[in-house]
Amino acid sequence: MKHIPRKRFGQHFLCDDGIIDAIVRAIAPLPGQPMVEIGPGLAALTQPLVERLGRLTVVELDRDLAARLRQHGQLDVIESDVLKVDFTQVAQRLGVSKVRVVGNLPYNISTPILFHLLAHVDAIADQHFMLQKEVIDRMVAQPATGDYGRLSVMLQWRYAMEDVLFVPPESFDPPPRVDSAVVRMVPHAAPAPVDIARLETLVQVAFSQRRKLLRHALGRWLDEQGYGGGFDLQRRAEEVPVQEFVALALELPQKA
């Protein structure tokens, strides 16, 4: 029976063989590697991956698709909302310290998924995701550009990222109304040991008034934290490199 894409799950199924082959080559799966695919859908990417890996774990929310996937002898199916999946436990269950993660992420919740995975980054070897191109543009953006913002800082602190492939709307059924792309995310081996919640709050405050100088919103917030350092507040948030935000977070007084 033909599966009808469900709008509430943000389902757009990849159907372009050339693009699928290019994504698999970018991922470069090797036999025996522990890998988790988010949102396998109709298995367009799943099948060529599992043929190379031998076995694959998949996370699928759609009950009908999960039932179909369970009929495949080489798949371990986790029927769940990906935001509720503990990827650290998945790695432990597979008997490894790190898993590779791939997927065509639902565009309506792609950012929450990225932040959810950030909490499990120590159990992840690398990530390859298909996303809305404008989201990837923000992820990889450099300072002093319009795309540079909270997402850029939070992800670049923890990952080296690369936009590896453009994917047009006609590569999907049904075609989305946006361009897509594939991003490679490799966790930094030795990231600065910053408290993620502290950094996230700092960055959120900094970009809350991105058209104004930092002395307005961030300046007041730093005063409230008891910070007395020499951070240059005569700039806009988009002018501050990732490493300076991280250094500032490390300099903040410890909370009582």
Residues in binding site for S-adenosyl-L-methionine? 12, 14, 39, 60, 81, 104
State the binding site.
Answer: 12, 14, 39, 60, 81, 104
Rg (CA), the chain: 20
Whether the Cβ atoms of residue 251 and residue 223 lie closer than 8 Å to each other? no
E-strand stretches of 93-217: 99-104, 124-132, 159-167, 172-173, 180-187
Ordered strands of the 35-38 beta sheet: 75-79, 56-60, 35-38, 99-104, 124-132, 180-187, 159-167
Whether the Cβ atoms of residue 78 and residue 57 lie closer than 8 Å to each other? yes
